[in-house]
Amino acid sequence: MYQVRVEAEFAAAHFLSHYHGKCERLHGHNYRVRLWAQGEKLDAGGMLIDFSLLKGVLREICGTLDHQNLNEFTVFSGDPSAERIAKYIFDETASLLAARGGRAELLWAVEVYETPTSMARYERD
């Protein structure tokens, strides 16, 4: 099995409505996002998927989140947890890859780091 990974970053604010503690107050993170693709077959050029395509899509999605209050995105239902952000980025990436002729079925997982030591991961079933 082959795996490839690309990374991007964005800075954003959020608060967690259903959390009792300091995270219920507005605060921010410098998020690091890791996008994984996985598959068994390489293309004729010996690649699983083009790094440039993956990086471009991921950077585009992260760009829409950058310097935003994530609570203003209805998709997060008022609680933009790292878990929900990972799922959102996974779904958006799959959609953009499919629209651009990329192999969306190779998308395997998205990891969202709020800090260097705290990460949530969403992966394909």
Question: Annotated catalytic sites, by residue?
Answer: 23, 67, 114
Residue type at position 87: K
The residues near 52 (Cβ < 8 Å, ≥ 6 apart) are none
Task: Output phi, psi for 77, to 5 deg.
Answer: 50, 40
Task: Output phi, psi for 62, to 5 deg.
Answer: -60, -35
Q: Alpha-carbon distance 29 to 53, whole Å? A: 26
Q: Alpha-carbon distance 22 to 3, whole Å? A: 37
Contact assessment for residue 57 and residue 106, using Cβ atoms and an 8 Å cutoff: no
Q: Alpha-carbon distance 4 to 103, whole Å? A: 13
